[in-house]
């Protein structure tokens, strides 16, 4: 009897170990194809159909069954490799599989998981038995479209803005509820207090707050039912932030409406409000747009793989090597890019380069940049997401065109660096983000005897390294 119990016990231990190994499968730097961001976390799908997350994990975004304070670098969600699409809300995730099933998990304070309650869900949980074709997660909402073309929603509308589109005033619903009776919906995108959806005939529809004209209806009146925006039927995609909206038409032109206030989030040089969609610039090679749902930052990706950012730039989240409050006009972010989120983070941003590597920028707190750092420091240029802790010996750049190495690490008196190209400046910040040392035209040996013991971030070129001073 004892022997049998011991065998069972050992079997359970083995199963648990195997499960944990699968949940936290080996991370690799390449292979990313699609990315989305929540308020303080990110999620990405790889070419092999696997799903990865990082950042604040207290709401169980890693799907392991328990919450964790922070996830320092991408970890795999479960063992499945059939994820097709993913959308992140404030603290929850909705994801679509290749078989058409929808799965939800994470924070559920507003009923955005759709299970009829407000309990946090720590593992991916299937939504019903139907099949679906489109998803969108908002701050506290989830929209899904079934393959039969019907639109469904769950979550909050605490300000009663009407963004749920249910046709009546409500503070929210905690179970998926059908929106209207139409069955020709193609895609949906929820913003801060407004929602857009595109039908199969290419027409654009909006519901919710309209205080700055962000619904594009030509008025400032909110609506709790979806109303057609204009008469055009050539809309391809649309996103909405706090008080502004961006869209791309089938011909590749970029359009916007709502506020172009102090932050210039519509990319225009003057302060104004636009109650109807207008064309932004003359280019016709726009591929994808994205915004930060809770504020005024905008991004747009072109078919030539150039990425452009504009609007609110607190913490350097536009990624153009500046921490000025506003970036205007639209400014190119260095690199060759293939994907951006529709929803960007609150104070951080990310995108995927054409070599399928993942890059993040903005404020680095709670490990939201996925680089194992977590030090509250502004990173106003794209930083490569990593797979393991920064080593404490020699740190090398991952960019072969800008090959650097820093050593020793930890260091007592001096650090040395080697570079394949000329370095004009080395900048050192402490763990709080305070500038403590700037060296112009540096030699390869840097004196750090004047620095107190602690953790420092050393900026060389476009690379940032963690160095420990003993």
Indicate whether 432 pLDDT > 80.
Answer: no
Indicate whether 129 pLDDT > 90.
Answer: yes
Going from N- to C-terminal start, the domains of the chain cover 35-384, 395-469
Pick the residue with more confidence: 94 or 293? 94
Indicate whether 5 pLDDT > 80.
Answer: no
Question: How much is the average pLDDT of 271-283?
Answer: 98
DSSP 270: S
The predicted structure's pLDDT at residue 121: 97
Indicate whether 130 pLDDT > 80.
Answer: yes
Out of 116-125, 170-179, 265-274, 358-367, pick the least confident.
Answer: 358-367
Task: Please identify, in words, the CATH class of the domain defined by 35-384.
Answer: mainly beta
The predicted structure's pLDDT at residue 470: 82
The predicted structure's pLDDT at residue 412: 85
Q: What percent of the chain has pLDDT over 70?
A: 88
- Average pLDDT value for the chain: 88
Pick the residue with more confidence: 19 or 56? 56
pLDDT in tens, 216-239: 999 999 999 999 999 999 999 999
Whether the CB-CB separation of 338 and 357 falls below 8 Å is answered with: no
The predicted structure's pLDDT at residue 390: 43
Q: Domain spanning 395-469 has what CATH number?
A: 2.60.40
Pick the residue with more confidence: 393 or 302? 302
Instruction: Give the C-alpha separation, 62 to 94, whole Å.
Output: 12
Instruction: Give the C-alpha separation, 116 to 101, whole Å.
Output: 19
Instruction: Give the C-alpha separation, 82 to 76, whole Å.
Output: 13
Instruction: Give the C-alpha separation, 414 to 442, whole Å.
Output: 13
Indicate whether 380 pLDDT > 50.
Answer: yes
pLDDT-derived band at 424, boundaries 50, 70, 90: confident
Instruction: Give the C-alpha separation, 59 to 66, whole Å.
Output: 8
The predicted structure's pLDDT at residue 396: 40
The predicted structure's pLDDT at residue 305: 98
The predicted structure's pLDDT at residue 9: 39
- Beta-carbon contacts of 108 under 8 Å, excluding residues fewer than 6 positions away, are 92, 115, 117, 118, 119, 120, 121
Question: How much is the average pLDDT of 419-438?
Answer: 76
The predicted structure's pLDDT at residue 433: 62
Structure token digits, residue 234: 């050539």
- Beta-carbon contacts of 437 under 8 Å, excluding residues fewer than 6 positions away, are 426, 427, 428, 448, 450, 451
Question: How much is the average pLDDT of 129-146?
Answer: 98
- Beta-carbon contacts of 384 under 8 Å, excluding residues fewer than 6 positions away, are 29, 357, 358, 359, 371, 398, 399
The predicted structure's pLDDT at residue 21: 37
The predicted structure's pLDDT at residue 428: 85
Distance of CA 123 to CAs 53, 65, 72, 97, 120, Å?
Answer: 13, 5, 19, 15, 9
CA trace torsion 176, 339, 78, 391 (10° rounding): -140
399: number of Cβ within 10 Å = 14
Tell me how far apart the terminal alpha carbons of the chain are, to the nearest angstrom. 57
The predicted structure's pLDDT at residue 98: 99
The predicted structure's pLDDT at residue 300: 99
Question: How much is the average pLDDT of 264-274?
Answer: 97
396: alpha, beta or left? (left if phi > 0; alpha if psi -120 to 50) = beta
For residue 395, which of 465, 453, 444 has the smallest C-alpha distance?
465
Question: How much is the average pLDDT of 394-407?
Answer: 50
Pick the residue with more confidence: 376 or 96? 96
The predicted structure's pLDDT at residue 15: 36
pLDDT in tens, 299-328: 999 999 999 999 999 889 999 998 889 999
Indicate whether 12 pLDDT > 70.
Answer: no
Instruction: Give the C-alpha separation, 210 to 194, whole Å.
Output: 8
Three-state DSSP class for residue 467: strand
Out of 53-62, 141-150, 216-225, 296-305, pick the least confident.
Answer: 53-62
């Amino acid at each position: 009897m004892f022997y049998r119990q011991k065998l069972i016990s050992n079997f359970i231990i083995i199963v648990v170990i195997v499960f944990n190994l699968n949940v936290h499968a080996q991370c690799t730097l390449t292979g990313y194809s699609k990315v989305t961001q929540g308020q303080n976390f990110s999620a990405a799908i790889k070419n092999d159909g696997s799903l990865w997350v990082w950042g604040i994990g207290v709401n169980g975004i890693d799907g392991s069954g328990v919450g964790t304070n922070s996830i320092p670098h991408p970890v795999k969600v479960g063992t499945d490799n059939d994820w097709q699409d993913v959308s992140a809300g404030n603290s929850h995730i909705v994801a679509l599989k290749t078989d058409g099933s929808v799965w939800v998990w994470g924070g559920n304070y507003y009923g955005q998981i759709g299970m009829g309650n407000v309990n946090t869900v720590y593992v991916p949980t299937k939504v019903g038995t139907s099949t679906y074709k489109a998803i969108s997660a908002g701050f506290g909402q989830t929209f899904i479209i079934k393959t039969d073309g019907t639109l469904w929603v769950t979550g909050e509308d605490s300000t009663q803005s009407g963004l749920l589109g249910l046709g009546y005033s409500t503070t929210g619903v905690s179970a998926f509820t059908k929106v209207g009776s139409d069955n020709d919906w193609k895609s949906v995108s929820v913003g801060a207090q407004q929602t857009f959806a595109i039908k199969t005939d290419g027409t654009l529809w909006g519901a919710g707050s309209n205080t700055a004209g962000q619904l594009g209806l030509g008025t400032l009146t909110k609506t709790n039912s979806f109303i057609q925006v204009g008469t055009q039927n050539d809309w391809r995609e649309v996103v909405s932030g706090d008080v502004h909206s961006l869209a791309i038409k089938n011909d590749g032109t970029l359009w916007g409406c709502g506020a172009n206030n102090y932050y210039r989030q519509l990319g225009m040089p003057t302060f104004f409000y636009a109650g109807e969609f207008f064309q932004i610039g003359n280019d016709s090679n726009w591929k994808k747009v994205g915004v930060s749902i809770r504020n005024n930052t905008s991004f747009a990706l072109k078919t030539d793989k150039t990425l452009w950012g504009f609007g609110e730039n607190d913490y350097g989240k536009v990624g153009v090597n500046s921490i000025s409050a506003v970036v205007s006009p639209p400014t190119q972010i260095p690199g060759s890019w293939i994907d951006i989120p529709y929803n960007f983070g609150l104070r951080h941003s990310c995108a995927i380069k054409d070599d399928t590597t993942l890059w993040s920028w903005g404020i680095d707190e709670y490990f939201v940049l996925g680089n194992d750092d977590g030090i509250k420091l502004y990173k106003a240029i794209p930083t490569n997401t990593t797979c393991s802790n920064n080593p404490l010996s020699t740190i090398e750049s991952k960019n072969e065109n800008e090959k650097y190495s820093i050593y020793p690490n930890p260091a007592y008196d001096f650090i040395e660096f080697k570079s394949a190209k000329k370095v004009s400046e080395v900048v050192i910040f402490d763990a709080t983000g305070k500038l403590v040392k700037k060296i112009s035209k540096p030699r390869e040996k840097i004196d750090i005897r004047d620095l107190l013991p602690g953790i420092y971030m050393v900026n060389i070129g476009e690379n940032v390294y963690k160095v420990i001073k003993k």
